[in-house]
Structure 1
């Protein structure tokens, strides 16, 4: 029987977390640790929920007594140090503690990369195209299994509007990008982990924005799996339990996701998905993520929780995915009552 995997920080975010959680649950019993009950979408994939504060490694270890976990996985940046402390306390595989602490602090990460002369970009600088390398680190080997291209939204929030993955992306053969990824991984001293390396492609070459040693969000694991066949979520679980993941590509396609944001700030009055969306041949899924009556913020200042819906397409090429995304967008209608303006007396 597969060893249970303990997740820290999962089960309360948006529904984009359901796919990776389901993939892990297909291979391992899943124990969720957190002070709050899991969201309804997460419950079918959990073997148990343990009400404990992950920051308290001693009490969390006590709560896990009798469950015999085989590995610990962090689901967010903030949970990286607690995951490493808990893994060390239970004698399980895990990142070096210094690496977890550094990756949990963007300022410390930037300082470390600069000390190691890894080319970095200021997150406030919007020059160049944002991309990310979806990598698996095995001892000294860094395997880039996919590249994610991101279309940002309007400033100043610049939340992602779209992500796309293509099994034959030309950037996979860009030696400068590969060198930047490998230098970042080695500077942080990552080992045996799935890593999401965010970069910006500038006129001076690739510049590293972030290093995230846990499965990425925003349905990127779904896109990678649909485009290449490589399952990042199960790879992360395999590494967390001391195993070796199967990274053999079995598909050569393209996949993309688009997110819908409100045009104005106010209260959502109407949100409807035309059932005809299901007839789109390239459609993977189309999901509403807010309800009428919810307060929402316009895209220029939105948070991830302000997204109204998302839809995923798969096709042979990125151009075909983009056309399908545009077609699917026509099936969504939304209306927001603008927030009342408050005038100073």
Structure 2
């Protein structure tokens, strides 16, 4: 059996995390470091170390002791919460991965922007919407980047449509295999300079950028797999498997980033229209029969408290649905048709309090 990879945290949101874990497990046996792994993760695991990845040095010491008795090939996480711990453990074990200094810098937005600006990287503030743009036109994008021994490849561009202020939560992510930004020399230059400024020579990076009237500006860097089903979109649109690539790079192997598809994939998120108690949430099974439908899932339970869209967090999302098509317009149409199969009822906050 191939030597396993240590994964810090399985995640708690099955709709988002199960697919990534499944793809990693298809590449390498997975030894999970998690205090209480969810039941849905069990079929993907070769073993489990009961430790809380969020407890820093104590968990790192436990993992190092564990690795002294078991042969481990790499350390990986797809959670920003545990990225620093993963880097610390990989460094102590002498395994591949982004350095602790890099991951720590990425977790501190002002420090990251100062570091990048000092290396001639065009930077922007993630809270600054940039140049005015037409409604519904994404001004925020991310470059899903794979780095292997200094070779930098942008595997895909994710375009994100943001919701209203102040929360500005993502409403939709779209990946198009033929996105014109893949050939934008200013964006590619910003990505290249970012990777080199951070000194990353292997790994999967999610590099956020704002499209402004001054050109692309780097806003943030996640030195790990992106969330929000973006790896699924990239795989559906291009055939590039970011999760398997991350597992390969974490274990010192080469990653296959050869595109095998030329399509478009998109995910849409539904947020509450009001703040209050979720009394009704239903998805018609007919949604699965819509042309272009990939999946549609409910992500909240009735009886829970939810917050309206402008102030919502990702935890308030009611449902998500994924569509695949030849073009972004095909996905737009499919997502619109699928949305009609979702119904929700919310008792506004005042009514919910009075009924309690």
What band does the TM-score fall into relative to the shorter chain? over 0.9
Contact kept? 1:15, 1:41, Cα under 8 Å: no
User: In 1, are the aligned partners of 2:175 and 2:266 still within 8 Å (CA)?
Assistant: yes
Equivalent positions of 1:92-241 (< 5 A) are: 92-128=95-131, 129-241=139-251
Q: CA deviation at 1:65?
A: 4.5
- The answer to whether the Cα contact below 8 Å between 2:148 and 2:255 also exists between their aligned partners in 1 is no
Take 1:2 and 1:250, find their aligned partners in 2: how far apart are those partners? Answer: 26
Matched, 1:90 2:89: no
Structure in which a larger fraction of residues adopt helix: 2
Match of 2:320 among 310, 313, 320: 310
Distance 1:326 1:317, change over 3 A: same
- Match for residue 324 of structure 1? 334
Shift, 1:28, TM fit: 1.1
Shifted more, 56-65 versus 117-126: the winner is 56-65
Unaligned 5+ segments in structure 1 are none
Q: Residue 291 of structure 1 corresponds to which residue in structure 2?
A: 301
Give the superposition deviation at 1:130. 0.2
Could you say what the CA RMSD is over the residues aligned between the two structures, in angstroms? 1.6
Q: Which residue of 2 aligns with 1:7?
A: 7
How many residues align structurally?
A: 342
Q: Which runs of 5+ in 2 are unaligned?
A: 132-138
Using the size of structure 2 for normalisation, the TM-score is 0.92
Describe the SS at the equivalent of 2:161.
strand
Residue 47 of structure 1 corresponds to 46
1:333 corresponds in structure 2 to 343
Please report how far the alpha carbon of residue 64 of structure 1 lies from its aligned counterpart in structure 2 after TM superposition. Answer: 4.1
